[in-house]
Structure 1
Amino acid sequence: MYTMLFKEIALEIDEDDGNSVNNLIAFCRNKGAPESELRQFQHGYQQKSPIWCYSQEIFLYGMLNCALRSLDMETMAKMGFFIRKLHQQLRQLHEKQARSFMKQFIVYRGQGLPQDDFENLVDTKGGLLSFNNFLSTSKHQHVAMGFVERTLNKYENHVGILFTMTINPSKISISKTPFALIDEHSAAPQEEEILFSMHAVFRIDVIKQTEQNSRVWEVHLTLTDDHDPQLAALTDRMKKEIDGSRWHRMAKLMYKLGHFNQAEELYKELLKNASGDSDSALIYHQLGYLKGEQGEYKDAVGFYEKALKIYQKTLPE
C-alpha cells in the first residue's frame, strides 16, 4: 500500500534532473557506493537511458530495490526522479511494442525465499501478491531456473521459487503497471528480459512442489487489476490523510511511516521555496504537528506560533 502511494506521488513530481542526479550521487557516496560505479551511473544516465543504468551491475539496482522492499523513505525519495524516469521509459517502450503484446503470454522469474516467507506465500494462495519493486522476468524458463539454482547453492535454508506468470494484456490496465522487453536498452541484453514497473499485482493461482527437486516450488500467477476491497478502502483513507501537492504529500508519507527526521528535513526544504505566506504558514503548522507527535512540545509550540503570526498578518479580521 505504501509503495503504491509513493509511486503515485513520485510520478507527480517534476524536478530538475541535473540537481536530482547530483544529489543522488552525493547521497550514494555517503552510503559507500564506489566512485567508479558513481561515474558509470552519471555517464549512463546522461548518455544512455534509465533502463541501461538500472540493468548495470552497479550499486543502483540493489540499493533501489532494497529501499522499496524495506520502505527506506530517505533512499526512495532521493531516487524518486529515477523511479519516475524508469517508469516513463517502460511506458513509452510498451506503446512502441504494443503489437508484440496483443496475445496472452507467459514470463518466468526465479528467486529464493526464507522458509517463513514461503509459508506466508502458501497461506495467501488464491489471494493477491504485490511486487513492490521493479520486477525482472524472462521469456525463458531456463534463465529463471538459473537464478533459483544459484540461490539454493548459496542459502541452505531457502526455498527455490519458479514464478510462472500469465500476462493477458486485454484484461489489465497497462497505464498502471507498464512492462516492456528491454534487451535493446539493457546493459545485459542476452536474457530477453521483460521488466515491469513497480507495484505489479498478481493473483496466486497454483502452488506446487516440483518433481525434480523437493526444495523447488512452482508458483503460477496471473497479472491482474483486481484489488482486495479492504485494502482498497484502507488505501483510499490513506490518500485522504496524505493530501496536498507533490512534495507535501511525500513529507506526510514519510511522517506516516515514522521517518520523522526525513519529514522534517523535507518540510524545511519546502519552506525555503514556499510559494507565499499561506504556504509558509501551512508548512510551519505541519512542522508543529510533527514535533508534537515526537513529544518535542517546546519546538512544536514555536512552529505553531510562527504559523499563527502569519495567519494573523494575512487573514482578514
Structure 2
Amino acid sequence: MIAVDFKETFAKVNKKIRAVISDQDELICLVKHDQHELEKLEDVMSLPMNIYDVNTVGSSLAKENSSTSLNGNFLWFQLFIEVFLRMEHTATDFLELVNFCKEIYMDNTSQLEVINEFQQNYTYSRAVFWYSREIFLYKILNKALRCQNLETLIAFRTFINDLCNQLQNLQEDAALRNLSKITRVYRGQLMSNIELERIQSSISSYISMNSFLSTTVDRDLALFLIESAATFVSAPVESALKPVLFDIEIDPSSSRNVKPFADISSQSYFQTEKEVLFM
C-alpha cells in the first residue's frame, strides 16, 4: 500500500503502508519500481525442477513419483527443448508468436501496445533485452516452462531459439575478450518444505530448472530478494515457505558442454542488476 499525502505518524505504525508520497511523479516512479520488484518476486517464489537420479534410487517422495518416472520427465523435457534449438525458423514462426500473444492479451490495451512495439522493432539480436523487460514475453514463457505447457512452448519456439543463441554469443564474446570468467553466482528463493526435501534427497543427482534461471553475481542482492519476497506474501504463505540461498559454483572448463549462460547486464532492460542468465 502506498499512501498519498498521508500522515507519516500513522504510516509508521501501519506496516502495510510502503511510503507517504505527495508528489505525483514520485508516486508513479515508485509504483513502477514496485511492479518490477513484484514480477521479480514471482520468479523468486517459484522454481519448478526436474531431477535425474543417477543411482535410480527413489527419494521419500517415491510414493508419488518413482525414480523411473522422475528420470523420464527429466530426459523428455530436455529433449523437447533441444528440438526447438535444432529447428529451422522462419518469419511465419515469429508472426505466429505475435498473434498467439495478442490473443492472450486481447482485452489488455497496454499489453497490446507493447506487443505491437515488439512486432515492429524485434530483432533476433535483441532477445535478451525483450526477455529481461519482464512484459508479456517473460510472463507467458516462464509460466509455460514451469507448467510444461506444450502448446505455448511451441508458439515460443523461435524466441527460445533466439534467446539461447544470444546467450551463446554473449558467452563466446566474453571468452574472446578475455573477460573474467564467472565462477560463482547466487539466487535467492522461497521454497516449500516438500521442495527442500526433494533437493536434500537428491544429492549427487542432476537438477534441471524448468525455466530460464536468473541469478546474480551479487550475493547481497540475492539475499535482499529473499527478504523482499517475505514482505509481499501473507503470513500463512510465508510460514509455509523457507528462505533459501542458492550458492552456485561454475566450472569454467565445462562451458562448452552445457547450455549457455552469460552476464546479460550489457543487453538487459535493467542493466544495474548484475544478472547472469542460464538457458
Deviation by residue 1:57-77 (Cα, 9 ceiling, x = unmatched): 201112111111211000000
Contact residue 151 and residue 160 of structure 1 kept, 8 A: no
Deviation by residue 1:182-233 (Cα, 9 ceiling, x = unmatched): 1111101101111111xxxxxxxxxxxxxxxxxxxxxxxxxxxxxxxxxxxx
- 1:187 and 2:269 matched: yes
- 1:160 and 2:243 matched: yes
Structure 1 unpaired stretches of 5+: 198-317
Counterpart residue number, 2:179: 100
1:30 pairs with one of 100, 103, 126: 103
* SS of residue in 2 equivalent to 1:100: coil
Counterpart-to-counterpart distance in 2, 1:41 and 1:10: 21
Are the structure 2 counterparts of residues 43 and 165 from structure 1 closer, same or farther at C-alpha, using a change threshold of 3 Å? Answer: farther
Counterpart residue number, 1:9: 83
* SS of residue in 1 equivalent to 2:123: helix
* SS of residue in 1 equivalent to 2:266: helix
2:145 pairs with one of 52, 68, 80: 68
Counterpart-to-counterpart distance in 1, 2:258 and 2:146: 19
Paired residues for 1:1-317 under 5 Å = 1-16=75-90, 18-32=91-105, 34-46=111-123, 49-98=126-175, 99-102=178-181, 105-153=183-231, 154=233, 155-156=237-238, 157-170=240-253, 172-197=254-279
Paired AA for residue 65 in structure 1:
N
Contact residue 111 and residue 162 of structure 1 kept, 8 A: yes
Deviation by residue 1:21-58 (Cα, 9 ceiling, x = unmatched): 22112111222262123124324523960000100020
User: Where do 4+ consecutive residues of structure 1 move more than 3 Å?
Assistant: none
Larger of the two Rg values belongs to structure:
1
Report the CA distance between 1:2 and its aligned residue.
Answer: 2.4
Count of residues in Structure 1 that have an aligned counterpart in Structure 2: 194
Paired AA for residue 31 in structure 1:
I
TM-score by length of 2: 0.65
* SS of residue in 2 equivalent to 1:111: strand
Paired AA for residue 100 in structure 1:
L
Are the structure 2 counterparts of residues 114 and 95 from structure 1 closer, same or farther at C-alpha, using a change threshold of 3 Å? Answer: same
* SS of residue in 2 equivalent to 1:159: strand
Report the CA distance between 1:119 and its aligned residue.
Answer: 2.0
Contact residue 261 and residue 277 of structure 2 kept, 8 A: yes
Are the structure 2 counterparts of residues 189 and 56 from structure 1 closer, same or farther at C-alpha, using a change threshold of 3 Å? Answer: same
Counterpart-to-counterpart distance in 2, 1:51 and 1:40: 16
Counterpart-to-counterpart distance in 2, 1:131 and 1:117: 12
* SS of residue in 2 equivalent to 1:184: coil
* SS of residue in 2 equivalent to 1:67: helix
Counterpart-to-counterpart distance in 2, 1:47 and 1:73: 22
* SS of residue in 2 equivalent to 1:174: helix
Contact residue 125 and residue 162 of structure 2 kept, 8 A: no
TM-score by length of 1: 0.57
Paired AA for residue 220 in structure 2:
H
Counterpart-to-counterpart distance in 2, 1:43 and 1:164: 40
Paired AA for residue 194 in structure 1:
V
* SS of residue in 2 equivalent to 1:124: coil
Aligned-pair identity (%): 32
Counterpart-to-counterpart distance in 2, 1:48 and 1:81: 12
Counterpart-to-counterpart distance in 1, 2:120 and 2:197: 43
Structure 2 unpaired stretches of 5+: 1-74
* SS of residue in 1 equivalent to 2:137: helix
Tell me the C-alpha RMSD between the 2 structures.
1.9
Counterpart residue number, 1:244: none
Name the structure, 1 or 2, with higher relative contact order (CA <8 Å, separation 6+).
Answer: 2
Paired AA for residue 29 in structure 1:
K
Report the CA distance between 1:3 and its aligned residue.
Answer: 2.3
Contact residue 108 and residue 141 of structure 1 kept, 8 A: yes
Deviation by residue 1:269-288 (Cα, 9 ceiling, x = unmatched): xxxxxxxxxxxxxxxxxxxx
